[in-house]
Amino acid sequence: MSTSTNAIDSNEIGGESEAPSQVTFIQALKLWFKLGFLGFGGPAAQISLMHRELVEQRRWISERRFLHALNYCMLLPGPEAQQLATYMGWLMHKTKGGVAAGVLFVLPGLMFLITLSWLYIAYGHVPLIAGLFYGIKPAITAVVVHAVHRIGSRALKNSWMWAIAGASFVAIFALNVPFPVIVLTAAVIGYLGGRYVPEKFTVGGGHGAAKKSYGPALIDDNTPPPEHARFRWSGLLKIVAVGAVLWVVPMAFLTLQFGWSHLLTQMGWFFTKAALLTFGGAYAVLPYIYQGAIGHYNWLTPTQMIDGLALGEANPGPLIMVVAFVGFVGAYVQSVFGADLKFVAGVTAAVLVTWFTFLPSFIFILAGGPLVESTHGNLKFTAPLTGITAAVVGVILNLAVFFAYHVLWPQGFKGSFDWIAAMMAVIAAIALVRYKRNVIQVIGVSALVGLLLKTVLP
């Protein structure tokens, strides 16, 4: 193959026995830009899209190496899909590749969500918009249930995994155990299980083991890590130092300019904690954010949070971009820059919370990547990830229960049960789970039904 383009074309046809040609930085940029605009449907859909582009069609990385990186990202707090894109970019083109991949994976979604947040807060009371959201909310509940089914079907392969998932649900739902404690406990169980019952902890994490080969890859199973991916203490310390500066400078500016108790400063601190203390991807992060944004800070209401998730699901990029909605609405409603600068306040807050939410993800990947590249096939590293993935299923189930409560009982248990919303949620779940319909399709149809019910029918 003379060019990388020819390699890609032949890869899509299949049956090639040679690995693809070297990928240039510009070629990779085009792909990251494409994924940033096409990454609809939440983390599961985005990871599936990356797998198809990187593993199946282009064969830039092998199935096993892709899953190994994914399992590491699942271990980390924060958005696993964005972290995986950063990891892939870093592995192929060093730090600049990782930064470019991670930024381009987020930037389109941030721009879209700022626009959607403004339209929502400015016109959300209009019957047309209210009708659309009435239909979207049951669909979002079904989407989260679908996430439980999808991840659970891959992770819960034996009674041990089911037990871990069940215990994590009880811990967070009934006992209000903090996320970090649940994840740490699952990791310890996985580590011990990998030592004493290894056959129970080799199911490959939440995304299965590598069972299929798509032909030789540019970065194949046995390809040694490139020079920049080899661990060095100097490289680790450099990444940590730069990351610390990038966090301290804006946080110090906010504190000195506005004070520690100011909304923007508190948002920066809260979303830093969210980025560091929540594990298992976007669906696991959301309950923590909901508890803080609603219960502690009162930045917005439960209904607004569910609406924000609906916008996040209909938005390209990581689902955790809903933090931009939280920042925008909170700062806009409270007019932190005055009544004449509400939009400016919203945009400022949205950008700030995005920065504080995603900065740790870049540090984790760029600092931890070299260590991960040295652990292929090592059960003592993969078994804890398997345990964590099972626990995440229980955490996401708790999120589904949270959504169902607020959608089906809008006024709480003392109010009436919304049986129309319940029927819409069941139909949406069937469409997603049984008929494998696209998330955007289901949300779109549900929105139209809601509009019909609220504006056309009496």
pLDDT of residue 378: 59
pLDDT of residue 393: 85
Which whole-number Å values give the CA distances from 329 to 267, 316, 395, 413, in the listed order?
Answer: 12, 19, 26, 27
pLDDT of residue 455: 80
**Neighbour count for residue 446 (Cβ, 10 Å):** 27
Q: Side-chain half-sphere of 395: how many Cα atoms within 13 Å?
A: 25
* Distance separating alpha carbons of residues 325 and 442, to the nearest angstrom: 22
**Neighbour count for residue 21 (Cβ, 10 Å):** 16
Please name which of 441, 438, 347, 458 lies closest in space to residue 136, comparing C-alpha atoms.
441
pLDDT of residue 207: 47
**Neighbour count for residue 191 (Cβ, 10 Å):** 18
pLDDT beneath 50, residues of the chain:
1-15, 204-210
For residues 327 and 267, is the Cβ–Cβ distance under 8 A?
yes
Exposure letters 301-335 (e unless 16+ CB within 10 A, then b): ebebbbbbbbbbbbbbbbbbbbbbbbbbbbbbbbe
Kindly state the tokens that stand for 17: 């026995």
pLDDT of residue 3: 38
- % of the chain with per-residue pLDDT over 70: 88
Q: What is the DSSP string of 398-447?
A: HHHHHHHHHHH-TT-TTS---HHHHHHHHHHHHHHHTS---HHHHHHHHH
pLDDT of residue 132: 83
Q: What is the pLDDT of residues 169-182, one digit of tens each?
A: 999 888 878 777 88
pLDDT of residue 74: 73
pLDDT of residue 420: 93
Q: What is the pLDDT of residues 193-214, one digit of tens each?
A: 988 988 888 754 444 444 556 7
pLDDT of residue 316: 80
For residues 194 and 383, is the Cβ–Cβ distance under 8 A?
yes
With the C-alpha atoms ordered 52, 361, 169, 427, is the resulting torsion angle positive or negative? Answer: negative
How far is residue 241 CA from its own chain's centroid?
26
* Distance separating alpha carbons of residues 303 and 292, to the nearest angstrom: 15
Which whole-number Å values give the CA distances from 74 to 44, 71, 151, 250, 382, in the listed order?
Answer: 12, 5, 12, 28, 11
**Neighbour count for residue 341 (Cβ, 10 Å):** 15
Which residues have C-beta within 8 Å of that of residue 94, sequence separation ≥ 6? Answer: 228
* Distance separating alpha carbons of residues 445 and 22, to the nearest angstrom: 43
Which whole-number Å values give the CA distances from 281 to 31, 167, 189, 224, 248, in the listed order?
Answer: 22, 19, 20, 28, 25
Radius of gyration of the chain (CA): 22
Going by the DSSP 8-state scheme, the letter that residue 167 receives in this structure is H
Please name which of 118, 48, 47 lies closest in space to residue 85, comparing C-alpha atoms.
47
pLDDT of residue 1: 36
Q: What is the DSSP string of 43-100?
A: HHHHHHHHHIIIIIIS-SB-HHHHHHHHHHHHHSBS-HHHHHHHHHHHHHHHHHHHHH
Q: What is the pLDDT of residues 96-130, one digit of tens each?
A: 999 999 999 999 889 989 998 998 888 877 777 77
pLDDT of residue 454: 82
Kindly state the tokens that stand for 216: 């030789």
| DSSP H or E stretch at residue 266 | helix 263-277
For residues 209 and 203, is the Cβ–Cβ distance under 8 A?
yes
> SS3 string of 94-146?
HHHHHHHHHHHHHHHHHHHHHHHHHHHHHHCCCHHHHHHHHHHHHHHHHHHHH
